[in-house]
Structure 1
Amino acid sequence: MHENEISQIVFDSGLKIHRNLGPGLLESAYEECLFYELSKTGLLIEKQKAMPLVYENVRLDIGYRLDLMVERKVIIDVKSCESLNDVHLAQVLTYLKLSGCRLGLLINFNTKLFKNGYKRILNGDVAL
């Protein structure tokens, strides 16, 4: 399955959750709900996946964890904050680099309209 197809499934699942629960819950609640919804699709979903840092060919397990990874192709970083900022974007870009994935989705559920909290982030100059 292509990253764009996965992205659409994630968007639809997130929208369903947002319509049912609205903004204001903890990040962990949205993450669990999104994991549940995506699991129902039959896609491979990994939750709280450890992501090591490799430095000079040495694997360093320093505690990086991806919220969700779909089909080993798309990273999802779930937020529930007042607004997204540059550090959130940098975090997803780092996860993309460490994982080798091409697409990251930064989702802030604490918005009035779900689409305003949904951001697609590409790894480098890869066009999808």
Structure 2
Amino acid sequence: MAELPSNQLCPDEHPFTNTGSDCFGPFLVKHERSTVKRWAAIFTCLTSRAVQLEVIDTMEQDSFVNGIRHFFARREPIKRMWSNNGTNIVAMERELREALQRFNEGEIRDTLSIRGIEWNFHPPHTSHFDA
């Protein structure tokens, strides 16, 4: 067996310092008198393998942004994230990077807690890839 990557061997850091993320679904959910589709975003701590799920309304960028904001609000500041090259995730990462350039750094840090996050994408078509 190969050695584990260094980002999975950080017992002295807070949970979710190194996080993997992905989206899955859809699930059919009863909303009032109709049935609607909902998806979920999964966030996995790469050290302890703890998991947090966030419900997202659509597979669009805005829904994923809301899910990740909720995740950031509940966890310690995240240092590194890994995800696949899903179009909604790539668009969200680009939007956050551009927001850092447009706005005051202190304002972004205080409202979104995203300062200093290193975002890594798995190579395309590599479902077996582990961060």
Report the TM-score, using the length of structure 1 for normalisation: 0.30
Structure with greater helix share of residues? 1
